Chain A
């Protein structure tokens, strides 16, 4: 139920224009999960410390768990559900999603949504990152099962696939 403090926010989420009337201080993650049904971005800590909630905001990986939605007016948000759309028309999986499957880079999988966001952002800048560059790009993310090295290999594999396929970087 809207309250008097609610404001209108218009932003783009996964390519679609979204108009919300909500508490302007509400976290973006809450809007994604509860209002838009985009539950792939995960709540881990609510404190911007673990990276499970990471989304792309204007192409940059950012925490969404404490990010006030009003700060996103006119901005472009991409979640894990929209990642495939970045790689080209027709949807499907982003090459990094496919590479994670190919490398079996998961155990519980809870951290993967966020990791794929940061990995995809890295690959869009640098499709041939070194191990050190990948580790640095993913260092804001916590993974407790210990699939780090598999994720690194998946990022490298996805980069090679994207370069080979001539996907726009």
Chain B
């Protein structure tokens, strides 16, 4: 059963009208604070709403991530959207349905139980009445708080939920439409920002004449502090100017990134705060077989195919407000709101600054923009528009700040900012490196009596508003930046953690110690990359399980099962083992092998086991991947499979290919040639199975397959090579080094 307690999203946005409305033409508005970032969430939410309201999915128009109109549900991240927004929409729609049925029954003079609904039309004993949602819409006031008391439809009667509704956003996209990048309003001003190569870098020289020559068209160069932007009427002119600026700028001062920052030894040498969390009973006796191993995940990046884009417009009526922006303002550096700022920036009327962004958190973006630009939050509207896939904290918010800031310098004009490909590497939040040291003591039965995971990593979130900080890269380059936070820490374990996500193995361990070292400060902006710490922790734990099984002289699958009482966990492992023909027939150390990896994402989202088959000579060829997942009730089975498979491919790429390079004080990775990702000819065939029980609540799938995939590949490579590589990526260089060792 799905519990009927009021979900947090309904507590935060209590009015039914926050979520649902009936519009002309037989349409239904369903609003959500969650946003489409390529994961298919809107389709799943439409299904939930259609199910509870009993209308055809095609009637539903979604409003998503608009601060002017929609509920505030925080950030779209962490595989939580179906659980959070889905639960709110389910209850809100069920309650709306009940209210309308009651009103219809009143009008017809029959008990509500006598009525049923067919695609929004009210029927009595199977015959049409004159009533439907739209005819009664004026009579039912939805501006009332949800109670959560209306009965939801039982899962056994689901007609829309659990079916694979085609993605609602795909038809436009296969015709080449639907992206924020396509918003090119007449008179749009194209902008590019030159991002600083390292923290607090000072711009000591910029050959503006050379930039203008290279642009080959009219440009404006705007400099304030160490912030530089170029604007042009034509995009290709702005593009050329940006390329030239990159070459013609000289930087000094600040905190350059050390060239060895992507080395485990560097991370280990940085200052860190340590906490220790013990679970279970420490072993009473010493002795036993000690097994230790250290695993490494380097700094990596999300590498979206589409650079971040944002548009912003400050509607400005000089007669009403006077010339509040411009040079005068810039000289005052009045970027932070203070008592005087109200005079320089009269609170604009509703929607005066409009920002279009593919942010993951429209409300946080709005609040931080308002704070940084000295505006009233009520005068800033953030409208989510879709972009290329989002796999963690990307530059969307940075682009939004850049556009918003430039809009305040060009009132009345819509400014469009696009990140350069180079800055998508150089200026993007980095996926934090992690060093994970595993230690276990095996007792007489060859099972762990003592288990320690000791992990070191910088923080996994620096999103806008986190740590009380705005989080915008360009704001730091402008004059008078607000101070950096004294300390940065991950979110608590209870709300998903950061580096510690999935650090607690799901196995039956009598004593479990986690040592979490938060490496802070670091001269890098690290933030959330899909799965956060789960990827490295699962890679480490599941690699280590194979090492323990080897030490014990037991089969890796049997060894896991002997330590796992959770029946759902056992079921996915057994399914994946069966799918891949475990343990296979390839003799170890002869170039071919199977491997397996398992986790329950966040220890509370979907269960997933992945098996991989590889062939290794000088490099790893990923031949086949199998996976079994239990995500409880699946709203959109095909969507869940798509997410799980996509996660496998992305995780395979992280595992086999990806590593950022640092040089000259900066991220030296600038193009896709510097940062190869898995290409079509390297893609394995993938078979997946969903084995969950639809009577169980839905569990997030977006990030569930990634850690198990890394572990499965790592274990398969170890089997094929006869020796284990514990540092990612499992690149040609590392394979060659292992073969020569």
Judge: A and B partners, yes or no.
Answer: yes
| Interface residue ranges, A against B (CB under 8 Å) | 1, 3, 5, 23, 25-27, 30, 33-34, 37-47, 49-50, 52, 79-81, 93, 97, 100-101, 104, 106-113, 116, 134-136, 138-139, 141-150, 152
The reply to whether B167 and A34 contact each other, CB–CB distance below 8 Å, is no
Residue from the list A34, A110, A136 in contact with B234, Cβ < 8 A: A34
Known contacts A52-B306, A104-B642, A110-B389; A47/B175 CB under 8 A: no
Known contacts A144-B303, A144-B650, A147-B642; A112/B173 CB under 8 A: yes
Q: How far is the CB of A112 from chain B (nearest CB, A)?
A: 6
Q: How far is the CB of B592 from chain A (nearest CB, A)?
A: 20
Residue from the list A43, A49, A107, A139 in contact with B307, Cβ < 8 A: A43
List which B650-695 residues lie within 8 A (CB) of chain A.
Answer: 650, 671-673, 677, 679-681, 683, 685-686
8 sample A-B contacts, Cβ–Cβ < 8 Å, listed by A number? A44-B305, A46-B420, A100-B170, A108-B387, A113-B176, A145-B38, A145-B646, A145-B650
B side interface size, CB within 8 A: 62
Is B647 interfacial (CB-CB < 8 Å)? yes
With A101-B170, A107-B642, A149-B686 known, 8 other A-B pairs at CB within 8 A are A34-B236, A106-B173, A108-B390, A111-B388, A138-B680, A144-B302, A144-B305, A148-B683
List which B619-649 residues lie within 8 A (CB) of chain A.
Answer: 638-639, 642-643, 645-649
CA distance A146 to B391 in the complex (A): 12
Among residues of A, the one whose C-beta sits closest to the C-beta of B170 is A106
Q: How far is the CB of A147 from chain B (nearest CB, A)?
A: 6
The reply to whether B680 and A135 contact each other, CB–CB distance below 8 Å, is yes
The reply to whether B174 and A116 contact each other, CB–CB distance below 8 Å, is yes
The reply to whether B646 and A40 contact each other, CB–CB distance below 8 Å, is no
Which residues on A sit within 8 Å (CB–CB) of B166?
101, 104
Is B418 interfacial (CB-CB < 8 Å)? yes
Q: How far is the CB of A111 from chain B (nearest CB, A)?
A: 5
Is B496 interfacial (CB-CB < 8 Å)? no
CA distance A49 to B217 in the complex (A): 26
Residue from the list A42, A49, A139 in contact with B680, Cβ < 8 A: A139
The reply to whether B421 and A44 contact each other, CB–CB distance below 8 Å, is yes
Residue from the list A80, A110, A147 in contact with B175, Cβ < 8 A: A80
Which residues on B sit within 8 Å (CB–CB) of A80?
175-176
Q: Which 10 A-B pairs have the closest CB atoms?
A: A40-B176, A146-B649, A108-B38, A109-B173, A146-B646, A108-B389, A110-B388, A30-B236, A80-B176, A39-B182
Tell me which of A42, A47, A107 has the highest count of chain B C-beta atoms within 10 A of its own C-beta: A107
Which residues on A sit within 8 Å (CB–CB) of B239?
30, 46
Which residues on A sit within 8 Å (CB–CB) of B677?
142, 144
Residue from the list B174, B421, B646 in contact with A47, Cβ < 8 A: B421
Q: How far is the CB of A23 from chain B (nearest CB, A)?
A: 6
Which residues on B sit within 8 Å (CB–CB) of A25?
216
The reply to whether A143 and B305 contact each other, CB–CB distance below 8 Å, is yes
Which residues on B sit within 8 Å (CB–CB) of A45?
421, 671-672
Q: How far is the CB of B332 from chain A (nearest CB, A)?
A: 35
The reply to whether B648 and A146 contact each other, CB–CB distance below 8 Å, is yes
The reply to whether B649 and A23 contact each other, CB–CB distance below 8 Å, is no
CA distance A134 to B304 in the complex (A): 23
The reply to whether A23 and B216 contact each other, CB–CB distance below 8 Å, is yes
Q: How far is the CB of B305 from chain A (nearest CB, A)?
A: 5
The reply to whether A144 and B672 contact each other, CB–CB distance below 8 Å, is no
The reply to whether B680 and A150 contact each other, CB–CB distance below 8 Å, is no
Is B178 interfacial (CB-CB < 8 Å)? yes
Q: How far is the CB of B368 from chain A (nearest CB, A)?
A: 25
Among residues of B, the one whose C-beta sits closest to the C-beta of A150 is B642
Digit string of B394-432 for contact with A (CB within 8 Å is 1, else 0)? 000000000000000000000000101100000000000
Residue from the list B40, B234, B387, B683 in contact with A107, Cβ < 8 A: B40
The reply to whether A100 and B174 contact each other, CB–CB distance below 8 Å, is yes
Residue from the list B174, B303, B642, B671 in contact with A112, Cβ < 8 A: B174
The reply to whether B177 and A40 contact each other, CB–CB distance below 8 Å, is yes
The reply to whether A27 and B642 contact each other, CB–CB distance below 8 Å, is no
Q: How far is the CB of B686 from chain A (nearest CB, A)?
A: 6
Residue from the list A23, A50, A79 in contact with B217, Cβ < 8 A: A23
The reply to whether B174 and A107 contact each other, CB–CB distance below 8 Å, is no
CA distance A47 to B389 in the complex (A): 20
Which residues on A sit within 8 Å (CB–CB) of B110?
none
List which B298-350 residues lie within 8 A (CB) of chain A.
Answer: 302-307
CA distance A31 to B632 in the complex (A): 49
Tell me which of A26, A81, A116 has the highest count of chain B C-beta atoms within 10 A of its own C-beta: A26
Digit string of B222-262 for contact with A (CB within 8 Å is 1, else 0)? 00000000000011100100000000000000000000000
The reply to whether B235 and A110 contact each other, CB–CB distance below 8 Å, is no
CA distance A142 to B672 in the complex (A): 9
Tell me which of B174, B235, B638 has the highest count of chain A C-beta atoms within 10 A of its own C-beta: B174
Which residues on A sit within 8 Å (CB–CB) of B387?
108, 110
Residue from the list A47, A143, A149 in contact with B672, Cβ < 8 A: A47
Which residues on B sit within 8 Å (CB–CB) of A3?
217
Known contacts A111-B305, A139-B679, A143-B305; A41/B391 CB under 8 A: no
Which residues on B sit within 8 Å (CB–CB) of A106?
167, 170, 173-174
Q: How far is the CB of A159 from chain B (nearest CB, A)?
A: 16
CA distance A101 to B38 in the complex (A): 15
Q: How far is the CB of A42 from chain B (nearest CB, A)?
A: 7
Digit string of B159-190 for contact with A (CB within 8 Å is 1, else 0)? 00000101101110111111101101000000
CA distance A1 to B27 in the complex (A): 45
The reply to whether B176 and A30 contact each other, CB–CB distance below 8 Å, is no
Is B39 interfacial (CB-CB < 8 Å)? yes
The reply to whether B421 and A149 contact each other, CB–CB distance below 8 Å, is no
The reply to whether A34 and B184 contact each other, CB–CB distance below 8 Å, is yes
Q: How far is the CB of B728 from chain A (nearest CB, A)?
A: 18
CA distance A143 to B234 in the complex (A): 28
Tell me which of A41, A49, A143 has the highest count of chain B C-beta atoms within 10 A of its own C-beta: A143
The reply to whether B306 and A42 contact each other, CB–CB distance below 8 Å, is yes
The reply to whether A109 and B175 contact each other, CB–CB distance below 8 Å, is no
Which residues on B sit within 8 Å (CB–CB) of A136?
680-681
